Structure 1
Amino acid sequence: MLSVQSLQVQYGAVQAVRGIDLDVHEGEIIALLGANGAGKSSTLNALVGLAPASGGKIVFSGQDVTGSAPERFTSLGMTLSPEGRRVFGTLSVQENLLMGAYSMRDKAAVKAAWERVFDLFPILQERREQFAGTLSGGQQQMLAVGRALMSNPRLLLLDEPSLGLAPKIVEQIFELITVLRKQGVTLMVVEQNVSMALEIADRGYVMASGRIAASGTAAELRDSETLQAAYLGAE
């Protein structure tokens, strides 16, 4: 489904991603792990055209999409739910969700997306007229994921979905990820909660200093010394 070859991301003199290779196969949950500043968010942003790839190649569904505009990724079926939620606080829940469906012209598909999101997140239906900025942190995270789902993605990228949330809400978010996989969505998840990420993931990649330091099945990574070193800041 997704093949990334020698991807590089650079911001001025700072090279955030240093020639990484990774693959995502249809139906998988992939965990992208590593300490803060390892290059994980820069990788996800590059995968959907929000950060320019300074080198390498991104192939999605058999098409070379390197350097494409974000709307092309959305139309092909790859969407990002960004770190920090980034909901539009002065817009209603309903208006935020509509922003996620901006590229869809099929009214029946939009209606089906509404029903899916409200089925997954009943609280969003209850509060659809409420300003997004007045929602709790957990509800804003649900809204951010729901907005991404409105485009009916085949591959959903989640950047720190549990960040700053209460333990009960974190459990709900991880349950949601497994439900989405059962619904046919492939997922790549950047997550600081390593133990929970590896509980639901099939495979994972560990990033350190902009490079892939280790990769393997969730079971292999769970006891990996490289994973532990990455979070301790060791090279």
Structure 2
Amino acid sequence: MSALLTVQSLQVQYGAVNAVRGIDLEVREGEIIALLGANGAGKSSTLNALVGLAPASAGTITFRGQDVTGSASERFASLGMTLSPEGRRVFGTLSVQENLLMGAYSMRDKVEIKTAWERVFDLFPILRERREQFAGTLSGGQQQMLAVGRALMSNPRLLLLDEPSLGLAPKIVEQVFELITVLRKQGVTMVVVEQNVSMALEVADRGYVMASGRIAASGTAVELRNSDTLQAAYLGAD
């Protein structure tokens, strides 16, 4: 598998705070990568930097062979990389339909937009039923579906999922991970930041464990499941 995304010596700094301290990672075409670690380890800052929402203070980000370091966040959807952010962040006063169209802002072909729309509605039938409903009146699980659906509207090659199961009921969490498996079969490469480490490693091919802004361990899902470093960096922090 060829590298879809390569990150070298990435640093993210907020004032005097070094959130990400020179990490290297690689995502290959067709993979699911789990990015694990305790709260404050730098996982969300890493994802935000990958799509231009947080400035990279050093290092390089290469996506599909292009150096995209420092690119404006608006550029990434058209390049094929989108983020479903932590906390869902749907537009509560807009309808489900309008939220989904926000995810297709980089697309101009009406046929492509309609195809993407139908794909999302096939994945999430409840969104089809509630397409005229204000997003703010949806349940937490439905808002998470909408956030992922919005990210899928641009037909990304690489989908970044930041805490997709956070705050959801166990039954909905299972549905979220079933969705990740379905998307893999559809050819979507994913990086998943997830507090539910056991379920993340069930669906992931490989993973990286972050601690204090650095990569503390990396390996296959099986290797990480049995890693003492994972126990220390993640489970031991709860």
With the shorter chain as reference, the TM-score category is over 0.9
Matched, 1:77 2:73: no
Secondary structure of the equivalent of 2:74?
A: helix
Matched, 1:10 2:13: yes
CA–CA distance in structure 2, aligned partners of residues 106 and 228 of structure 1:
48
What's the counterpart of residue 49 of structure 2?
46
Secondary structure of the equivalent of 2:179?
A: helix
Instruction: Look up the equivalent residue of 2:129 and give its one-letter code.
Output: E
Q: For residues 145-165 of structure 1, what are the alpha-carbon distances to aligned partners after superposition, in whole Å with 9 as ceiling and x for unaligned?
A: 000000110000000000000
Instruction: Look up the equivalent residue of 1:187 and give its one-letter code.
Output: M
Per the normalisation by structure 2, the TM-score is 0.97
Secondary structure of the equivalent of 1:3?
A: strand
Equivalent of residue 132 in structure 2, options 129, 135, 152: 129
Secondary structure of the equivalent of 1:70?
A: coil
Which structure 2 segments of 5+ residues have no match? none
Q: For residues 61-101 of structure 1, what are the alpha-carbon distances to aligned partners after superposition, in whole Å with 9 as ceiling and x for unaligned?
A: 00000000112111110000000000000100000000000
Instruction: Look up the equivalent residue of 2:205 and give its one-letter code.
Output: D
What's the counterpart of residue 65 of structure 2?
62
Q: For residues 170-217 of structure 1, what are the alpha-carbon distances to aligned partners after superposition, in whole Å with 9 as ceiling and x for unaligned?
A: 000000001001001000000000000000000000000000000000
What's the counterpart of residue 205 of structure 1?
208
CA–CA distance in structure 1, aligned partners of residues 83 and 237 of structure 2:
27
Secondary structure of the equivalent of 1:188?
A: strand
- C-alpha displacement of 1:34: 0.1
- C-alpha displacement of 1:233: 4.0
- C-alpha displacement of 1:45: 0.1
CA–CA distance in structure 2, aligned partners of residues 106 and 4 of structure 1:
31
CA–CA distance in structure 2, aligned partners of residues 118 and 176 of structure 1:
13
CA–CA distance in structure 1, aligned partners of residues 11 and 127 of structure 2:
38
Segments of 4+ in structure 1 off by > 6 A? none
Per the normalisation by structure 1, the TM-score is 0.99
What's the counterpart of residue 38 of structure 2?
35
CA–CA distance in structure 2, aligned partners of residues 105 and 45 of structure 1:
25
| Matching of residues 1-235 of structure 1 within 5 Å | 1-231=4-234, 232-233=236-237
For the aligned residues, what is the CA RMSD? Answer: 0.8
Which structure 1 segments of 5+ residues have no match? none
Secondary structure of the equivalent of 1:172?
A: helix
CA–CA distance in structure 1, aligned partners of residues 13 and 94 of structure 2:
33
CA–CA distance in structure 2, aligned partners of residues 78 and 199 of structure 1:
23
Number of matched residues? 234
